[in-house]
Amino acid sequence: MKNKFFDILSAALSELSYPLDNIIIQIPKNPNHGDFTTNYPLINSKKIGKNPIEIAELIVNNIKERENSLIKEIEFIPPGFINIKINSKKFTNELPNIIKEDSNYGKNKDGKDKRVLVEFVSANPTGPLTIGHGRNAILGDSISRIFEWNGYSVEREYYFNNAGRQMRVLGKSVYARYMELLGLDFQIPDGGYEGEYIKSISKKIIDKYGKSLIDDKDNPIFKESAEQFIFNDIKKTLKKLGITFDLFFNENDLYDNNSINNVINELENKNLIYKKDGATWFKGTEVGRDTDRVIIKSTGEPTYRLPDIAYHKNKYDRGYDLMVDVFGADHMDAYPDVLSAIKSLGFKEEKVRVLIHQFVTILKDGSPIKMSTRKANFISLDNLIDEVSADVTRFFFIMRSMNSHLNFDIDIAKEESDINPVFYIQYAHARCCNIIKKYDDDLDKIDINVLDQLTNEQETKMISKLLQFPNIIKKCIITLEPQNISNYLSELASMLHSYYAKERVVDPKNSSLSDARIYLINAVRIVIKNGLSLLKISAPEKM
């Protein structure tokens, strides 16, 4: 429907010799303002050289002069908006398309033949996934699914490093617990890992090697056993959420295949590298950054910016049309330096979309739970899933903008009532299924001519809402904000529950109206199920 109004508006602009670019059509936040609104007169006033109100009046009059059964009302309002209401019958005529497309309703092929790489989670194997990793994981997977629904070919990638100081400390921590379990003197290293999982790893080593490693604290067995154990644990946790990766990329490969040195050489050839105080610096100020950055410390150890530059160069070399990075807020300062370096190497910066999500606070009994990863004083993502379910975990992590700090209230998450937003939506789907189950006749044999009886305000608004779903999916590919889908589903569920409370869906005294309303309920069921499917959340038929 939005596309049809776009065509009508474009025809009017052509007749008036107005530019056809910069046409924005939106759904008003206030339903009293109509079904669609455009601010075209306001944002194109300077280009056209006329007052916005004058432009709006000319456009409205042009559209009114041409008979069009689609539009019921059209008006212009200051300072330069045009609002329209669609003929409700036109909305109703679109319902059969929802039924026909069924599980494909909302999908499109806009991204056909385009390849997207989405990198997310990317936690080093030093411990169980945390709540912060959980938000990252579900955002990354939901965004991947949004791309897939828009027709893109998507690959999910996990980037990790199993070397460096963190991993050395992990190995020493395992050795310390190994000694402890054998009843011998031990000392946890500075900044060591103290979780129960370290003891579990150490016990496995004892089961296999006994006391043979007591005098061999630097044996790689300690680090390698920890890495294998933790990575298996990470994969199991992600599997609970329905998340699997196509690719695992190890940072060490960038050293082994000489990618790190190649990047240094290329930056040197562009005169973007210099030495100072024994360290190697990237000339960030030469490429638009506020300051220069150390990329190799005086000790000879690279900072994380250098392998990140090499890693992104590798992504470009693999020929993706778009690369999406999902990072926590702790990457806010670093990624612009990486992109500046990538741009200086001749790559198109716009091929990378960086998404930064804010931190998560777990609330219980109304109070935040204090957590420390190294001290193992935290609720792991695995524990959270077990406590509130995978469906709830997925929904709660995407129901707020990634730009907002997220308070994850466990008490609400465990509620099986209307205050739990995912339960509210799933119950709407189950309610639709229950209504349809009680319908005596064959859904496929409903005569679509009866749909003309869907004329009350609630029905019209609900149909309009259903028809917005494909545009919501398309909008998400621009914003990459999955909460647009969760918000949409919450609003549709609210409309369904309100309609059910007010209207008698099946009326024995009016079979044709009953048929029309059942048809509408089936369309609502399809859209809710599709939206939940996109978010990888189940749509139960009974609750």
**In this predicted structure, what is the pLDDT of residue 221?**
97
* Cα–Cα nearest to 136, from 354, 312, 337: 354
For 75-102, how does the pLDDT look when each residue is reduced to its tens digit (9 = 90+)? 988 998 999 887 777 778 889 999 999 9
Which band of pLDDT confidence, cut at 50, 70 and 90, is reported for residue 527?
A: very high
- Is pLDDT of 375 > 80? no
Q: SS3 letters for 516-530?
A: HHHHHHHHHHHHHHH
Domain(s) of CATH 3.30.1360.70: residues in the chain: 2-86
In sequence order, what are the beta bridge partners of 25?
38
In sequence order, what are the beta bridge partners of 368?
363
- Is pLDDT of 371 > 70? no
For 100-132, how does the pLDDT look when each residue is reduced to its tens digit (9 = 90+)? 999 999 999 999 999 999 999 999 999 999 999
Distances (CA, A) of 486 to 18, 36, 493, 532: 37, 21, 10, 8
Report the alpha-carbon distance of residue 24 to residue 37 in Å, rounded. 8
**In this predicted structure, what is the pLDDT of residue 372?**
57
The order of strands in the sheet holding 279-282 is 273-276, 279-282, 293-296
**In this predicted structure, what is the pLDDT of residue 377?**
56
Alpha helices in 241-302 (DSSP H): 252-256, 259-269
For residues 518-525, average pLDDT: 97
C-beta neighbour count of 19 within 10 angstroms: 12
Q: Name every residue whose Cβ is closer than 8 Å to that of residue 522 and which is 6 or more positions away in sequence.
A: 99, 432, 436, 443
- Is pLDDT of 319 > 90? yes
Does 245 or 194 have the greater pLDDT score? Answer: 245
Least confident of 91-95, 204-208, 350-354, 406-410: 91-95
For residues 516-527, average pLDDT: 97
Report the alpha-carbon distance of residue 215 to residue 221 in Å, rounded. 13
- Is pLDDT of 287 > 60? yes
Report the alpha-carbon distance of residue 317 to residue 342 in Å, rounded. 12
In sequence order, what are the beta bridge partners of 118?
156, 324
For 157-178, how does the pLDDT look when each residue is reduced to its tens digit (9 = 90+)? 999 999 888 999 999 999 999 9
The reported pTM is 0.88
**In this predicted structure, what is the pLDDT of residue 234?**
97
**In this predicted structure, what is the pLDDT of residue 67?**
62
Least confident of 160-164, 208-212, 416-420, 434-438: 160-164
Domain(s) of CATH 1.10.730.10: residues in the chain: 95-110+417-534
Percent of the chain with pLDDT over 70: 98
- Is pLDDT of 285 > 80? yes
**In this predicted structure, what is the pLDDT of residue 522?**
97
Which band of pLDDT confidence, cut at 50, 70 and 90, is reported for residue 184?
A: very high
The packing angle between helices 483-502 and 457-479, to 10°, is 170
Distances (CA, A) of 181 to 227, 416, 432: 20, 43, 57
Does 68 or 535 have the greater pLDDT score? Answer: 535
Pick the CATH number of 2-86 from 3.40.640.10, 3.30.365.10, 3.90.1010.10, 3.30.1360.70: 3.30.1360.70
Token pair of 482, please?
């999955």
**In this predicted structure, what is the pLDDT of residue 3?**
77
For residues 5-30, average pLDDT: 87
**CATH, range 95-110+417-534:** 1.10.730.10
| Mean of pLDDT over the chain | 93
For 445-486, how does the pLDDT look when each residue is reduced to its tens digit (9 = 90+)? 999 999 999 989 899 999 999 999 999 999 999 999 999 999
